[in-house]
Amino acid sequence: MVTREDFISRFGGVFEHSPFIAERAYDAGLIGEPLTAAGVHAALSAQFRAASPEERLGVLRAHPDLAGRLAIAGELTEDSRKEQAGAGLDRLSPQEHARFTELNSAYTAKFGFPFIIAVTGLTRDDILTAFETRIDNDRETEFATACAQVEKIAHIRLAHLLPENI
């Protein structure tokens, strides 16, 4: 059986900068062998959903802006850097970067957390279209959408670390 320390070390960052989710999943006895992406995702997601609204908001706020200042400064987590680069967000034209910056600012001002989308498999245009559509949502709808996207990102990250099923 994987130890608590090893589990948290390996999966504590799956939900961006939020190791408490992995800690709670392990402590709740939700982690069984063999470890699979589906099983670990179910355990982590259950703890994310059980977290208070303030804790979930903290997880959302732990995510970086897309093509934002952390990306420019090279301060993204390795997972976030790879995900954004895979969608071409590291190769924006000055005009595209200005539009993302404008949308990031407006979105965060409106909702109190950054725009979150699982960028894997999406193009810059797909992301921009989703950004421009979702900014018109009400806060409750967008909070739920962002939480669902966080879970999707976590699943993608776990699929890179573990077999899906055994």
The Cα 5–Cα 9 span in angstroms is: 6
Those residues with Cβ within 8 angstroms of residue 123's Cβ, 6 or more apart along the chain or in another chain: 87, 88
Question: pTM for the complete prediction?
Answer: 0.89
- Residues 72-96 have a mean pLDDT of 71
Those residues with Cβ within 8 angstroms of residue 103's Cβ, 6 or more apart along the chain or in another chain: 115, 128, 131, 132, 135
User: Mean pLDDT over all residues of the chain?
Assistant: 89
Q: How confident is the model at residue 73 (pLDDT cuts 50, 70, 90)?
A: very low
CB of 113 closer than 8 Å to CB of 121: no
**Which residue out of 63, 97, 155, 160 is catalytically annotated?**
63
Residue % of the chain over a pLDDT of 70: 91
Task: Look at residue 84 and tell me whether its pLDDT is greater than 80.
Answer: no
17 is catalytic: no
Task: Look at residue 72 and tell me whether its pLDDT is greater than 60.
Answer: no
DSSP category for residue 138: -
The terminus-to-terminus CA distance of the chain in angstroms comes to 16
Task: Look at residue 140 and tell me whether its pLDDT is greater than 70.
Answer: yes
Task: Look at residue 120 and tell me whether its pLDDT is greater than 50.
Answer: yes
Tokens of 21: 């989710």
The Cα 45–Cα 39 span in angstroms is: 10
- Residues 52-74 have a mean pLDDT of 79
More confident residue, 82 or 26: 26
Q: Give the chain's radius of gyration (CA, Å).
A: 16
The C-alpha angle 22, 28, 29, rounded to 5 degrees, equals 95
